[in-house]
Amino acid sequence: MKRLMLAFVLCFLVSCTTGPVFIAKNESEGIRTSYEDPKLNELASQNRAGLKAIYHRYELANIDVYPNGIGFVALSDDQGKKHYYLLVDVRPRDITFGEGQTKPKERFNEVFQRHFEKNLRFVREEDVGMNGVEGLAFAVHWPVRDLSQCDSHGGFLEYAMIYFPKADFVSLVRGETSFTKATADAEIVTSLDMKQPTAIRVVETK
């Protein structure tokens, strides 16, 4: 199983006063262009136009992108071999939860069932067709707030990221498989309730 080599920092939002909201305000904040890994730098340089196209699709759809949320990520398998995935990480404004009103698992389930697929649909087959790209890492961030203090700022961020091998994502885009089936064997990493990222499996219940 491949393991994520990019670490997300746990993000704490400030109280109801104006503060960081962890949303890219423009293209330069949304697209990551420099990396320590030379291969990631090469991919970013070669595919700049494609990354810009992805960013602007989300911009036109009024879906916010997480800072540096459009780019590439390196994964390593059990033998230490690196694999390079396209990264798309969004922070839709229509997702927010009250900390006291919901539990971490409930928040994840709602985002996974109601928000992942509809935000994923702006990624196209040709995006993972970029030379050197082996799949898609797609993430959604959302805020959890103390609603007794403020319902528009503050709290902390949670996220979930799904790693789609290229063939599985292409089958999904072409309608050859469902989102449920495409994610059944996918690696999913979540960070919930201010805890460190954890790899999980989603099991369909009937």
Q: Which residue type, as a one-letter code, is found at position 74?
A: A
Predicted local confidence at residue 105, as pLDDT: 95
pLDDT tens-place string over residues 113-137: 999 999 999 999 999 999 999 999 9
pLDDT tens digits for range 89-110: 999 999 999 988 999 999 999 9
DSSP letters of 43-54?
Answer: HHHHTHHHHHHH
For residue 146, pLDDT over 70 is answered with: yes
Region 52-75: mean pLDDT is: 97
* pLDDT for res 12: 46
63 pLDDT band (50/70/90 cuts)? very high
What is the C-alpha to C-alpha distance for residues 144 and 155, in angstroms, rounded to an integer?
5
Bridge partner residues of 143 (DSSP): 157
Whole-number percent of the chain with pLDDT over 70: 84
Q: Which residue has the tokens 């400030």?
A: 14
- How large a percentage of the chain has pLDDT more than 90? 74
At residue 21 the predicted structure's pLDDT band, cuts being 50, 70 and 90, is: low
Query: CA angle 200-139-54, nearest 5°?
Result: 150
Question: How far is 87 from 196, CA to CA, in rounded Å?
Answer: 20
| More confident position, 54 or 1 | 54
- Of the ranges 82-86, 107-111, 199-203, which one carries the lowest mean pLDDT score? 199-203
Bridge partners of 141? 159
User: Does the pLDDT of residue 22 top 60, yes or no?
Assistant: yes
Quick check: 93 and 64 in contact, CB under 8 A? yes
The residues spanned by each domain of the chain are: 3-200
- Please, which residues have CB within 8 angstroms of residue 75's CB and are 6 or more apart in sequence? 2, 3, 4, 5, 82, 83, 84, 85, 137, 163
Q: What's the mean pLDDT when you consider all of the chain?
A: 88
